[in-house]
Structure 1
C-alpha cells in the first residue's frame, strides 16, 4: 500500500500548504472575525448531506459491480467471489482515502482491495473508477447548466468541458478505439508496460460506458453532487449578512468543482478553492474576502476532508486483518509489475464477455 499511501500523504501536504498560504495571503484575523455569529448547525447539516452523497456513490459502485457480474459470477477466476455487502461497503469507503490523488485515480485502491479480499482481477474492476469519474463530470456539467442562467458568459466554458467529457466517453467506451490506443502506447518505451497491463480494462470499460449504464450512474451523481450544492448553500448563508440563492450556490459549487476535477490536481486542491472564493466574492451578496475564504474552507472540510477521514477509518478497518494486509500488499506489487493478458485484436475486445453486455 506504500505507493498509494505516499500519494495520499503528498495530497494532504499540498492541501495543508494551500490553506496555510490562503490564510497568509488573506488576513487570518479577518477570516476568524467572519465566523463571529456563524450558525455552526449548517456544518452538521452539510456533513449529513455529504454522508448521503457517499451512500449514493456506494450505490453506483454496487450497480457497476452487478453489471460486471462480480458478485453473481466468477469474477474472471471461475470461482464465486462471495462478496458480502458489508465488505463491499468497507472497500468502497476505503477508496475515499485516496480522494486527494490527481483526478482521484488513487481510488483504484478499491480494485486492489477487492483482489486481495475476493480474488477479483484488478483490470476487471479498475474501469469502475473511470465510469465513476466520467459520470461525476457529466453530473457537474448538468448542475452547472442548471444554475448558469444568470451567468451566460461562462456557458462556453461549461460546454467546452462537456465536449471533453463526451470525447472521453466515446474513446474509453469503444473497444476498438481504446484498445487500439493502448496497443499503440504499448510500443512506446516509457509507458509501454503500463499500457500493456491496461489492455485488460477494455472489456469492462466498454460495459460500464454503455449509454444506458452511464445514464443511470450520471443521474445518481446529479443527486449526490446536488446534495453537496445544498450543503454549500447552507454554509454560505449561515454567515451573517450573506444572501445567496440555491441556484447561485449550485452553479458556484458545481462549476468550481468541475474546474478542480479538470485541473487533475490532487483533489482539485487550489483550483477549486481559488475559483470558488473568487466567484463567491463576485456574485454572492454580502460575501467579502473573509467570508469567501472561511466558507470555502468549511465546505471543503465537509466534503473532501471528511471523505478522507471516513476513508482512512475504513482502510484501517480493512488492514486490521493481517492476511488481508499481506494480500493487499502483494496485489499492489503485482499490479505494478505483472503484465496483463494481451488482447490480440479489437474485434476480440468487442466480442468477449458478451454475457456482461446484455441488459
Structure 2
C-alpha cells in the first residue's frame, strides 16, 4: 500500500470547520501551524501536522467531535477523492476506491475485506510517533457510516464496530451508530452484506469520469519509485468494477502510451494480460470463499460483461467452474483476521 509524505488540505475543509463551530485561528495556534495557512489553500501538510491539527480540533470539541462531524458531513465539504467515492455504484465499490485514494487524503491506510459476514474496513495510521487523537478512530467510523447513509438515503446500521479506546459518552455513540462499540486493538467497522450492495443514489458515472483521470495521475505520482507492475495492479483494483480494464485505458490513466506501458512491463518480466488475469483470479477465489454473492455480482465486480464470460474465464484459470470451487471451499474461509 502506498504511503505519502504530505497530504492535501483543500478549501473545502474551511466549510467543515465553520459548520463544526471551530475557531480557525485558534486551530492553527494549537497545532503550531503557520498563522496564514488558511490563506494558502490548497496546500499540503506533513503527517505530524495532520495529526497535530486533529489534536487541535479535539481540544476544542472534545468527544463530541465525531458526532458533530457526522451531523455536518455534506457534499460541499468533501475532498475530490471522497466525492468521487460517492459516484460509485455501492458501498463495496466506494470503499475500494477510497482505499486506493486514502494516501491522497491523510496518513491512514484503509484495508478493505469482503467475506461471508459482510464488508470489513480497518485502519492503520503512520508517520506520527506521539499518541494519536482519541477521537480519530471514532471520526473515521462515523464518516464511513454517514457516507453509507448519505449515499443510499437509508439508515444503514453497522454490523460491528471496533475501537482502541471507548468514549465516556458511550450512549450517545451507540444511539448514533445503532449498535454497540467493542474494545479492540484496531479501529474497524463491519457492514452487513446487504448494505454493501445497496445502490448509491449518488452514483454518477459522468461525474466520476470528471475526477478519475486527475486522481489516478495524483496516485501514480505519489511514489515515483513504484514499479510499473505495482502501478498497474493498483489501477486495475480500482477500475475492475467499471469494466474499463483494457491496456489502452490503463495506459491513458498513467499518461503514457500503450506501447510504453507494454515496454515497461516487459522490462519487469510481466505482461498486462497476465496481471489482469492473476488479479481477477485471486479476487474471484476470495469472493467465492468469503461471500454469498451471486456469480453475476462477482462477474460485475471483476469487470466482466456477463456471468457466462466469467465462468469460462474462471474455469480456464482454476480448472473447475466457480460453483464447484465454492462448494469445495465452503468451509475454508481464511481465519487470519482476529476481529
Classify the TM-score, shorter chain. under 0.3
More RCO (CA 8 Å, sep 6+): 1
> TM-score by structure 1 length?
0.24
Higher helix share: 1
> TM-score by structure 2 length?
0.26
